Structure 1
Protein backbone atom coordinates (compact mmCIF):
# COMPACT_ATOMS: atom_id res chain seq x y z
CA UNK A 1 0.00 0.00 0.00
CA UNK A 2 1.49 3.33 -0.96
CA UNK A 3 1.16 6.50 0.97
CA UNK A 4 0.42 9.78 -0.71
CA UNK A 5 1.96 12.25 1.70
CA UNK A 6 2.69 15.69 0.36
CA UNK A 7 4.88 18.44 1.67
CA UNK A 8 4.73 22.01 0.42
CA UNK A 9 7.69 24.15 1.34
CA UNK A 10 8.92 27.49 0.13
CA UNK A 11 12.00 29.55 0.81
CA UNK A 12 13.42 32.95 0.09
CA UNK A 13 15.30 31.58 -2.93
CA UNK A 14 12.18 31.99 -5.08
CA UNK A 15 11.46 28.28 -5.09
CA UNK A 16 8.09 26.78 -4.39
CA UNK A 17 8.65 23.06 -3.98
CA UNK A 18 6.09 20.35 -3.28
CA UNK A 19 7.23 16.80 -2.60
CA UNK A 20 4.72 13.96 -3.05
CA UNK A 21 5.59 10.56 -1.60
CA UNK A 22 3.46 8.02 -3.48
CA UNK A 23 5.56 5.01 -2.50
CA UNK A 24 6.40 2.88 0.49
CA UNK A 25 9.91 2.22 -0.83
CA UNK A 26 12.69 2.20 1.72
CA UNK A 27 15.50 4.74 1.55
CA UNK A 28 13.61 7.59 -0.14
CA UNK A 29 15.31 10.85 0.89
CA UNK A 30 13.55 13.43 3.01
CA UNK A 31 12.13 16.78 1.95
CA UNK A 32 15.17 18.74 3.13
CA UNK A 33 17.52 16.76 0.91
CA UNK A 34 15.31 17.18 -2.14
CA UNK A 35 15.18 20.95 -1.48
CA UNK A 36 18.97 21.11 -1.12
CA UNK A 37 19.49 19.29 -4.43
CA UNK A 38 16.92 21.37 -6.31
CA UNK A 39 18.38 24.64 -5.02
CA UNK A 40 21.89 23.53 -6.03
CA UNK A 41 20.79 22.99 -9.64
CA UNK A 42 18.32 25.84 -10.07
CA UNK A 43 19.35 29.15 -11.62
CA UNK A 44 15.98 30.95 -11.76
CA UNK A 45 12.73 31.17 -9.80
CA UNK A 46 10.62 28.02 -10.04
CA UNK A 47 7.55 26.14 -8.93
CA UNK A 48 8.30 22.44 -8.93
CA UNK A 49 6.52 19.29 -7.83
CA UNK A 50 8.65 16.22 -7.22
CA UNK A 51 6.64 13.00 -7.06
CA UNK A 52 8.29 9.78 -5.92
CA UNK A 53 6.37 6.80 -7.32
CA UNK A 54 6.36 3.00 -7.46
CA UNK A 55 6.75 0.87 -10.59
CA UNK A 56 3.07 0.81 -11.54
CA UNK A 57 2.71 4.61 -11.68
CA UNK A 58 6.14 4.98 -13.29
CA UNK A 59 5.17 2.54 -16.05
CA UNK A 60 1.81 4.24 -16.62
CA UNK A 61 3.36 7.71 -16.91
CA UNK A 62 6.21 6.56 -19.15
CA UNK A 63 3.71 4.76 -21.41
CA UNK A 64 1.27 7.66 -21.55
CA UNK A 65 3.82 10.41 -22.19
CA UNK A 66 6.72 8.67 -23.92
CA UNK A 67 5.16 5.54 -25.44
CA UNK A 68 7.52 3.29 -23.45
CA UNK A 69 6.24 0.12 -21.79
CA UNK A 70 8.52 0.21 -18.75
CA UNK A 71 9.18 2.55 -15.87
CA UNK A 72 12.22 4.82 -16.04
CA UNK A 73 14.24 6.46 -13.29
CA UNK A 74 13.20 10.10 -13.89
CA UNK A 75 10.64 11.92 -15.99
CA UNK A 76 10.52 15.70 -16.30
CA UNK A 77 7.42 17.60 -17.36
CA UNK A 78 8.01 21.24 -18.31
CA UNK A 79 4.92 23.46 -18.30
CA UNK A 80 6.70 26.81 -18.61
CA UNK A 81 10.36 27.58 -19.12
CA UNK A 82 9.87 31.27 -18.41
CA UNK A 83 10.63 32.71 -14.99
CA UNK A 84 9.29 31.32 -12.84
CA UNK A 85 9.76 27.85 -14.26
CA UNK A 86 6.84 25.46 -13.80
CA UNK A 87 7.26 21.72 -13.93
CA UNK A 88 7.00 18.28 -12.39
CA UNK A 89 9.70 15.71 -11.83
CA UNK A 90 8.72 12.08 -11.30
CA UNK A 91 11.24 9.76 -9.67
CA UNK A 92 10.55 6.00 -9.68
CA UNK A 93 11.86 4.71 -6.35
CA UNK A 94 12.28 0.99 -7.21
CA UNK A 95 14.12 1.81 -10.45
CA UNK A 96 16.44 4.26 -8.67
CA UNK A 97 17.12 1.79 -5.87
CA UNK A 98 17.89 -1.00 -8.34
CA UNK A 99 20.20 1.21 -10.39
CA UNK A 100 22.08 2.40 -7.31
CA UNK A 101 22.64 -1.18 -6.18
CA UNK A 102 23.64 -2.35 -9.66
CA UNK A 103 26.03 0.59 -10.14
CA UNK A 104 27.49 0.37 -6.62
CA UNK A 105 26.32 3.90 -5.74
CA UNK A 106 25.02 5.28 -2.46
CA UNK A 107 21.24 5.56 -2.80
CA UNK A 108 21.12 9.21 -1.68
CA UNK A 109 23.83 10.11 -4.22
CA UNK A 110 21.81 8.52 -7.01
CA UNK A 111 18.65 10.36 -5.93
CA UNK A 112 20.65 13.60 -5.81
CA UNK A 113 21.97 13.02 -9.32
CA UNK A 114 18.58 12.22 -10.81
CA UNK A 115 16.95 15.18 -9.05
CA UNK A 116 19.63 17.50 -10.43
CA UNK A 117 19.22 15.84 -13.84
CA UNK A 118 15.47 16.55 -13.77
CA UNK A 119 15.96 20.16 -12.68
CA UNK A 120 18.43 20.72 -15.52
CA UNK A 121 15.88 19.33 -18.00
CA UNK A 122 13.34 21.74 -16.51
CA UNK A 123 15.75 24.57 -17.34
CA UNK A 124 16.12 23.47 -20.96
CA UNK A 125 19.20 21.25 -20.86
CA UNK A 126 19.09 18.03 -22.85
CA UNK A 127 21.29 15.09 -23.80
CA UNK A 128 20.02 14.14 -27.24
CA UNK A 129 23.16 15.15 -29.13
CA UNK A 130 26.68 14.27 -27.97
CA UNK A 131 27.52 17.94 -27.58
CA UNK A 132 24.44 18.65 -25.47
CA UNK A 133 25.05 15.50 -23.41
CA UNK A 134 28.63 16.59 -22.69
CA UNK A 135 27.42 20.01 -21.51
CA UNK A 136 24.66 18.57 -19.34
CA UNK A 137 26.84 15.82 -17.85
CA UNK A 138 29.60 18.32 -17.06
CA UNK A 139 27.13 20.55 -15.26
CA UNK A 140 25.60 17.59 -13.39
CA UNK A 141 29.06 16.47 -12.28
CA UNK A 142 29.94 19.97 -11.05
CA UNK A 143 26.71 20.29 -9.07
CA UNK A 144 26.87 16.78 -7.60
CA UNK A 145 30.51 17.02 -6.57
CA UNK A 146 29.82 20.46 -5.02
CA UNK A 147 27.20 18.65 -2.92
CA UNK A 148 29.99 16.29 -1.77
CA UNK A 149 28.79 13.27 -3.70
CA UNK A 150 31.02 11.34 -6.13
CA UNK A 151 31.01 12.10 -9.86
CA UNK A 152 27.88 10.28 -11.09
CA UNK A 153 29.57 9.46 -14.39
CA UNK A 154 32.79 8.04 -12.93
CA UNK A 155 33.40 4.43 -13.86
CA UNK A 156 33.41 2.32 -10.73
CA UNK A 157 36.16 -0.26 -10.67
CA UNK A 158 35.50 -3.36 -8.58
CA UNK A 159 37.91 -6.20 -8.00
Structure 2
Protein backbone atom coordinates (compact mmCIF):
# COMPACT_ATOMS: atom_id res chain seq x y z
CA UNK A 1 0.00 0.00 0.00
CA UNK A 2 1.16 3.49 -0.83
CA UNK A 3 0.85 6.06 1.92
CA UNK A 4 0.56 9.65 0.72
CA UNK A 5 1.96 12.77 2.31
CA UNK A 6 0.37 15.62 0.35
CA UNK A 7 1.55 19.23 0.38
CA UNK A 8 -0.47 21.67 -1.69
CA UNK A 9 1.70 24.73 -2.21
CA UNK A 10 -0.38 26.34 -4.98
CA UNK A 11 -4.02 26.92 -4.00
CA UNK A 12 -4.97 26.66 -7.68
CA UNK A 13 -4.85 22.87 -7.32
CA UNK A 14 -7.96 23.12 -5.14
CA UNK A 15 -10.07 23.47 -8.31
CA UNK A 16 -9.89 19.68 -8.53
CA UNK A 17 -12.60 18.15 -6.35
CA UNK A 18 -11.48 15.27 -4.14
CA UNK A 19 -7.83 16.04 -4.85
CA UNK A 20 -6.34 13.80 -2.18
CA UNK A 21 -8.57 10.87 -3.20
CA UNK A 22 -7.59 11.42 -6.85
CA UNK A 23 -3.91 11.22 -5.88
CA UNK A 24 -4.50 8.09 -3.80
CA UNK A 25 -6.28 6.41 -6.75
CA UNK A 26 -3.39 7.28 -9.07
CA UNK A 27 -0.81 5.75 -6.73
CA UNK A 28 -2.99 2.69 -6.16
CA UNK A 29 -3.21 2.21 -9.93
CA UNK A 30 0.56 2.56 -10.19
CA UNK A 31 1.03 0.00 -7.44
CA UNK A 32 -1.36 -2.27 -9.33
CA UNK A 33 1.14 -2.55 -12.19
CA UNK A 34 4.38 -2.24 -10.20
CA UNK A 35 3.94 -3.34 -6.60
CA UNK A 36 5.58 -1.32 -3.85
CA UNK A 37 4.81 -0.32 -0.30
CA UNK A 38 5.83 2.85 1.40
CA UNK A 39 5.39 6.59 1.61
CA UNK A 40 5.28 9.03 -1.29
CA UNK A 41 5.70 12.69 -0.49
CA UNK A 42 3.79 14.73 -3.09
CA UNK A 43 4.19 18.47 -3.66
CA UNK A 44 1.55 20.13 -5.83
CA UNK A 45 3.08 23.46 -6.65
CA UNK A 46 3.53 26.05 -9.37
CA UNK A 47 5.77 26.48 -12.39
CA UNK A 48 8.24 28.68 -10.53
CA UNK A 49 8.90 26.05 -7.86
CA UNK A 50 9.47 23.31 -10.44
CA UNK A 51 11.77 25.64 -12.38
CA UNK A 52 13.76 26.10 -9.17
CA UNK A 53 13.84 22.36 -8.39
CA UNK A 54 14.76 21.44 -11.97
CA UNK A 55 17.64 23.93 -11.96
CA UNK A 56 18.89 22.95 -8.52
CA UNK A 57 18.72 19.17 -8.81
CA UNK A 58 18.96 18.52 -12.56
CA UNK A 59 20.92 21.55 -13.83
CA UNK A 60 18.11 22.33 -16.27
CA UNK A 61 17.02 25.96 -16.39
CA UNK A 62 13.44 25.31 -17.49
CA UNK A 63 10.19 24.38 -15.88
CA UNK A 64 8.66 20.95 -16.26
CA UNK A 65 5.40 19.23 -15.41
CA UNK A 66 6.63 16.57 -12.95
CA UNK A 67 9.83 15.74 -11.09
CA UNK A 68 10.58 12.59 -9.14
CA UNK A 69 13.24 12.14 -6.49
CA UNK A 70 13.65 8.49 -5.48
CA UNK A 71 14.62 7.90 -1.87
CA UNK A 72 17.67 5.90 -0.94
CA UNK A 73 17.01 2.33 0.25
CA UNK A 74 18.01 3.26 3.80
CA UNK A 75 15.25 5.90 3.86
CA UNK A 76 12.50 3.28 3.57
CA UNK A 77 9.55 3.30 4.01
CA UNK A 78 9.92 6.58 2.06
CA UNK A 79 9.82 5.76 -1.65
CA UNK A 80 10.60 9.34 -2.61
CA UNK A 81 9.28 12.76 -3.50
CA UNK A 82 7.21 13.87 -6.49
CA UNK A 83 6.52 17.49 -7.45
CA UNK A 84 3.98 18.66 -10.05
CA UNK A 85 3.61 22.15 -11.58
CA UNK A 86 0.05 23.37 -11.97
CA UNK A 87 0.68 25.74 -14.89
CA UNK A 88 2.59 23.27 -17.06
CA UNK A 89 0.16 20.44 -16.23
CA UNK A 90 -2.87 22.63 -17.00
CA UNK A 91 -1.45 23.87 -20.31
CA UNK A 92 -0.46 20.35 -21.36
CA UNK A 93 -3.92 19.00 -20.48
CA UNK A 94 -5.60 21.77 -22.48
CA UNK A 95 -3.27 21.23 -25.46
CA UNK A 96 -4.09 17.51 -25.43
CA UNK A 97 -7.79 18.19 -24.89
CA UNK A 98 -7.94 16.05 -21.73
CA UNK A 99 -9.07 16.88 -18.24
CA UNK A 100 -6.60 18.12 -15.67
CA UNK A 101 -7.72 15.23 -13.43
CA UNK A 102 -6.74 12.64 -16.03
CA UNK A 103 -3.47 14.38 -16.82
CA UNK A 104 -2.54 14.69 -13.15
CA UNK A 105 -3.32 11.00 -12.70
CA UNK A 106 -0.95 10.20 -15.56
CA UNK A 107 1.79 12.44 -14.15
CA UNK A 108 1.50 10.81 -10.73
CA UNK A 109 1.71 7.30 -12.16
CA UNK A 110 4.68 8.42 -14.28
CA UNK A 111 6.38 9.92 -11.22
CA UNK A 112 5.64 6.84 -9.12
CA UNK A 113 7.29 4.59 -11.70
CA UNK A 114 10.36 6.84 -11.65
CA UNK A 115 10.52 6.38 -7.87
CA UNK A 116 10.72 2.63 -8.47
CA UNK A 117 13.63 2.98 -10.88
CA UNK A 118 11.89 3.14 -14.26
CA UNK A 119 13.17 5.61 -16.82
CA UNK A 120 12.64 6.65 -20.43
CA UNK A 121 16.09 7.72 -21.56
CA UNK A 122 16.49 4.88 -24.07
CA UNK A 123 13.74 3.58 -26.37
CA UNK A 124 13.46 0.12 -24.78
CA UNK A 125 13.07 1.58 -21.28
CA UNK A 126 10.63 4.20 -22.55
CA UNK A 127 8.46 1.53 -24.17
CA UNK A 128 8.42 -0.51 -20.95
CA UNK A 129 7.56 2.49 -18.80
CA UNK A 130 4.85 3.70 -21.18
CA UNK A 131 3.27 0.22 -21.25
CA UNK A 132 3.04 0.24 -17.44
CA UNK A 133 1.53 3.74 -17.49
CA UNK A 134 -1.03 2.75 -20.12
CA UNK A 135 -2.02 -0.34 -18.13
CA UNK A 136 -2.36 1.63 -14.87
CA UNK A 137 -4.40 4.36 -16.56
CA UNK A 138 -6.64 1.80 -18.28
CA UNK A 139 -7.43 0.32 -14.86
CA UNK A 140 -8.98 3.72 -14.05
CA UNK A 141 -10.79 4.05 -17.37
CA UNK A 142 -8.33 6.64 -18.70
CA UNK A 143 -7.27 6.38 -22.35
CA UNK A 144 -3.76 5.85 -23.62
CA UNK A 145 -2.02 9.24 -23.41
CA UNK A 146 0.52 8.20 -26.04
CA UNK A 147 -2.00 7.63 -28.85
CA UNK A 148 -1.84 10.39 -31.40
CA UNK A 149 -5.22 11.46 -32.76
Q: Which has the higher contact order (CA 8 A, sep 6+)?
A: 2
| Matched residue, 2:138 | 145
| Matched residue, 1:22 | 9
Q: Does 1:31 align with 2:20?
A: yes
Q: Could you say what secondary structure the match of 2:39 adopts?
A: strand
1:76-123 Cα offsets, whole Å, 9 max, x none, are 001125763520000001100000011111111100100000000011
After superposing on structure 2, the runs of 4+ consecutive aligned residues of structure 1 that deviate more than 4 Å are none
Q: Could you say what secondary structure the match of 1:148 adopts?
A: coil
Point out the structure with max Rg over C-alpha.
1
Q: Is the 8 A contact 1:81 1:124 kept in 2?
A: no
Structure 1: state its 5+ residue gaps: 1-12
Q: Which has the higher strand share?
A: 1
1:35-64 Cα offsets, whole Å, 9 max, x none, are 111111121111111101111111110110
Task: Give the structure-1-normalised TM-score.
Answer: 0.84
Q: Which has the higher helix share?
A: 2
How many matched pairs? 143
Structure 2: state its 5+ residue gaps: none
| Matched residue, 2:45 | 53
Q: Distance in 1 between matches of 2:108 and 2:73?
A: 17
Q: Could you say what secondary structure the match of 1:127 adopts?
A: coil
| Matched residue, 2:59 | 67
Q: CA RMSD in A?
A: 1.5
